[in-house]
Amino acid sequence: MHIFTPRLCMMASALFAAGLSQPALAQQATQPTVFELGSVVVIGTREQAGSLDADQVSSVIDAGTIRKDNRENVGDALNLLSGVTLSTNSRNEKTIAVRGFDARQVPLYIDGIPVYVPYDGYVDFARFSTADLASIQVAKGFSSMAYGANTLGGAINLVSRRPSKALEADARIGWASGTEKLASVNLGSRQGIWYVQTGYSYDQSDSFPLSSDFQPTGNQASGRRNNAHRRDSKLSLKLGLLPVAGDEYALSYYQQHGVKGQPPSTDPSVARYWQWPYWDKESLYFISRTALGQFETLKLRAYHDNYGNEVDSYTNAAYTTLKPAGSGSVGSGRSIYSDWTSGAALELESHRLAGQTIRVSVHSKRDRHEERDATASLLAIYKDELRSYGIEDSIALNSTTTLSLGAAVNQLKPLNVFSAGNPYSLPDAKTAHDRQAGLFYDLAAGQRLYATLAHKSRLPTLKDRYSQRLGTYIENPALQPESATHTELGYRVQGDATTHWQAAIFNSDISNKIQSVANVSGTKAQMQNLGRVRISGLELEGEHQCNSVLSLGGSYTYLDLKNRSNPTTRMTDVPQQKLLLKAALQVRADTELSGFAEHNSNRWASNTVQLASFTTMNLKASYHPNAHISLESGVNNVADRNYALADGFPAAGRQWFAQLAYQY
């Protein structure tokens, strides 16, 4: 099962180390302290804050890996993991799939708080910076009931930082092809029983270079990608109090502002000429943990998120004339969304029973979507209430075996429905059930076998139920929840901090999958619960420090997606195979060379269009003159490969970059 054997390490290090006279003593960046309250794990004995519980089946990307591999946004960071594939949707937003499940089915969280857009459940993963993160947790299939509802295929949790010293600081500035500029700064301080953590990041680009092999079309010349400008900024602030051992109270504020152009499809017949003058998010979170005596702990999460965005639809690539009303656009060429989410979650965890840890959780949130056009005319208001009640029990059967059980009831209650010109009565409430069991056996120190079975659900989003998609769809407020049954067998080996191996085989059967059905009424389509899909696969992942000179790592994913309800309809946007390989070579005490290669097999973009497989390689040199400063320069897509993750949306060609970083 090991991707890299000791013999391979010996051969590679012998080749790479020939002529090297200095040992590997390069300065290592200090790993940010994880905000432990922000971690969400299946209950059990905690091995390390921000990593996995003893019975947790998930993956963690720490800040060191994110920085080392230059993953500036969450989408690119997630692509480092086995089982995760990167794609783009029809709005040219960066999306991901986890074992074939999309972002609506594997929702995004910040410190355990849901942050997906209330209307459609999606997020553009390129809009979320990694600059202020301590780690990213990804649960696949088997996931904690403490996340709440809608974790059909798993969950993605962004864990923020918490300072542990009197002064912690880091800053970066960088440049890349396409006139891209980025900068970030993080400051933190722990002062006795209180702490403060703040961060700011900025990323801007006018465009990106296309591969020299790209063939121009009627609306896209060679060279730079049209309408590909973007600008993102993010401010974060956290104030925390630790009055007594075990208790913690933290108030966090986030502000994100984005501006972006949407590159049109290179096929002029289907091209959209869209721009987003703003894509904003403002958030206020309160998270606390309070010990209730010797055996119980109470955790509270309370939050409010505001989401605002506007998309402007133009008549052509000049981007000067908005589409008029009734020409296939919403309103008068401008679609203005104003959404908010308010909610809270309570978790009570008890160690009162010998050999058992029990957690009970209650979640309640309200989502509101409002849509207006350029004349400020109200087009739609929708409001939902979502509640979830969960319980988990971790049972130590003996010194080497743990049984983890969980169950939840999720309820969706529509509160308000208004659609201009389309009145209908308030739909009925909907209920979905989750349940799971996992058995974990420790063969030896750092070695574990596990088997899990999970039944998860996803309640339909506002867009699933109500969107008319520019007049081409019929609403379906009666949509029912999707459900999936996951089985997984796995083996994990955790050596020291630089060595780990893992392998898993899995199967997911999805029923009542929400999918589009054409020509329900004339030419209009409708979203219906008709889909039945089976996803099975294999994941291999490993990393090993061969010696003081060389480290190797990589992963392999195989996915077999079958549309059982309609075998003639393709499953799109997910390659069958994905392979990642990386290597780092310590040339001297202060200098490191690293390489990263990724291969994706063919993927279907539609029922008739298949995108070609591709292989890309990135190279980088890093120089650490002292413990605080690092300089690096490199090139992504070294071979200038012309490839695409979605039909009509070519990816960037060769891109050069350089960064300067300081850490105190």
Each residue of 443-462: pLDDT tens digit?
988 899 999 999 999 999 99
Residue 289 has pLDDT above 70, yes or no: yes
Mean pLDDT across the chain: 90
- The predicted pLDDT at position 248 comes to 97
Residue 84 has pLDDT above 80, yes or no: yes
- The predicted pLDDT at position 29 comes to 54
- The predicted pLDDT at position 39 comes to 86
> Is 1 inside a domain boundary?
no
- The predicted pLDDT at position 34 comes to 86
pLDDT > 90: percent of the chain: 76
> Is 87 inside a domain boundary?
yes
- Are the C-beta atoms of residues 556 and 82 closer than 8 Å to each other? yes
Residue 383 has pLDDT above 70, yes or no: yes
| Predicted confidence (pLDDT) per residue in 608-640, tens digit | 999 999 999 999 999 999 999 999 999 999 999
| Predicted confidence (pLDDT) per residue in 94-148, tens digit | 999 999 999 999 999 999 999 988 888 888 999 999 999 999 999 999 999 999 9
Confidence of residue 518 (pLDDT cuts 50, 70, 90): confident
Residue 45 has pLDDT above 50, yes or no: no
Confidence of residue 57 (pLDDT cuts 50, 70, 90): low
Residue 55 has pLDDT above 70, yes or no: no
* Number of residues that this document lists for the chain: 664
What are 656's strand-pairing partners? 635
Residue 27 has pLDDT above 80, yes or no: no
- The predicted pLDDT at position 579 comes to 98
- Are the C-beta atoms of residues 372 and 379 closer than 8 Å to each other? yes
* Most trustworthy range by pLDDT among 23-27, 194-198, 477-481: 194-198
- Are the C-beta atoms of residues 159 and 50 closer than 8 Å to each other? yes
Query: How many separate domains does the chain show?
Result: 1
Q: State the residue range of the domain holding 137.
A: 6-663
- The predicted pLDDT at position 198 comes to 97
Residue 51 has pLDDT above 70, yes or no: no
Rounded Cα distance between 18 and 293, Å, is 61
Residue 23 has pLDDT above 50, yes or no: no
Residue 75 has pLDDT above 80, yes or no: yes
| CATH for 323 | 2.40.170.20
Sign (positive/negative) of CA torsion 249, 242, 497, 658? positive
Report the candidate in 72, 45, 66, 64 with the shortest Cα–Cα distance to residue 56. 45
Q: Which of 15-24, 59-68, 75-84, 296-305 has the lowest average pLDDT?
A: 15-24
> Is 398 inside a domain boundary?
yes
| Predicted confidence (pLDDT) per residue in 207-256, tens digit | 999 999 999 999 999 999 999 999 999 999 999 999 999 899 999 999 99
* Average pLDDT rounded to a whole number, residues 11-24: 39
Helix/strand/coil (H, E, C) string of 134-152?
A: EEEEEEECCCCHHHCCCCC
Residue 56 has pLDDT above 70, yes or no: no
Rounded Cα distance between 83 and 150, Å, is 19
Report the candidate in 110, 92, 210, 87 with the shortest Cα–Cα distance to residue 158. 110
Residue 172 has pLDDT above 90, yes or no: yes
- The predicted pLDDT at position 32 comes to 84
Confidence of residue 392 (pLDDT cuts 50, 70, 90): very high
Q: What is the DSSP letter of 326?
A: T
Please name the helix (run of DSSP H) or strand (run of DSSP E) that holds residue 641, with its range, or none: none
- The predicted pLDDT at position 543 comes to 92
- Are the C-beta atoms of residues 187 and 201 closer than 8 Å to each other? no
Which letter, b or e, does each residue of 207-233 get, where b requires 16 or more Cβ atoms within 10 Å of its Cβ? Answer: bbbbbeebeeeebbeeeebbbbbbebb
Residue 404 has pLDDT above 70, yes or no: yes
Residue 521 has pLDDT above 80, yes or no: yes
First to last CA, the chain: 40
pTM greater than the 0.85 cutoff? yes
* Average pLDDT rounded to a whole number, residues 583-589: 95
Rounded Cα distance between 536 and 514, Å, is 20
- The predicted pLDDT at position 559 comes to 97
> Is 164 inside a domain boundary?
yes
